[in-house]
Amino acid sequence: MIRSVQLTPEHLLIAPLLIPLIAGAFMLFYDDRRRWMKFGLGLISVLAMGAVSWQLLGRAGEDALLRVYLLGNWPVPMGIVLVLDRLSAMMVMLTAFLALPALIYAAAGWQGKGQHFHSLFQFLLFGMNGAFLTGDIFNLFVFFEVMLAASYGLVLHGSGAARIRAGLHYIAINLTASLMFLIGVALIYGVTGTLNMAELSQLVPHLTTAERPLFHVGAAILGMAFVTKAAIWPLCFWLPRTYTAASPPVAAILALMSKVGVYAVLRLALLFFAPQGGASAGFGGPVLLTFGMATMVYGAAGVLAVDGLARKAGHIALISSGTLIAATGVALLGGGPRMLGGALFYLAGSTMAVSALFLIDEMVTRSNEADPEDAAREEAEDAARIAAAEELEWGPMGLGAVEDDDAPAVALPGSLVTVGTLFAALAAVLAGIPPFAGFIGKFAMVSGLIGGASEATSVPPVAWIFVFVLFASGFAVLLALLRFGMARFWVAIEDRPRILVLEIAPVAILLAGLLMMTLLADRAMTLTLTAADGLLEGRYAATVMAVRPVDPAAAPEDDSRDVAP
pLDDT for the residue numbered 164: 86
Q: pLDDT-based confidence at 371, cuts 50/70/90?
A: very low
Instruction: Supply the pLDDT for residue 9.
Output: 52
Q: How many CB atoms lie within 10 A of CB 395?
A: 9
Average pLDDT over residues 482-510: 77
Report the C-alpha gap between 96 and 16 in whole angstroms.
Answer: 9
State the Cα–Cα distance between residues 448 and 345, nearest whole angstrom. Answer: 13
pLDDT of residue 421: 84
Query: Phi and psi at residue 515, in whole multiples of 5°?
Result: -65, -40
Q: What are phi and psi of 234, to 5 degrees?
A: -90, 20
Contact 256, 95 (CB under 8 A): yes
User: Is the model's pLDDT at 3 over the cut of 80?
Assistant: no
| Residue 393 clears pLDDT 60, i.e. is over it | no
Q: What is the pLDDT of residues 290-318, one digit of tens each?
A: 999 999 999 999 999 998 888 999 999 99
Its pTM stands at 0.86
Neighbours of 228 (CB within 10 A): 20
Give the closest residue to 19 by CA, choosing from 44, 45, 42, 39.
45
Q: What is the pLDDT of residue 493?
A: 56
Identify residue 225 by its one-letter amino acid code: A
The CA distance from 20 to 40, in Å, is 13
526: amino acid identity, one letter: T
Residue 420: Cβ within 10 Å count:
16
Compute CA distances 536 → 266, 290, 444, 462, 541, whole Å.
11, 21, 17, 21, 11
Residue closest to 350 by CA, chosen among 423, 428, 237, 270:
428
The pLDDT of residue 145 is: 93
Lowest pLDDT segment from 30-34, 110-114, 520-524, 554-558: 554-558
Q: Would you say residue 419 has pLDDT above 60?
A: yes
Beta-carbon-side half-sphere exposure of residue 432 (alpha carbons within 13 Å)? 23
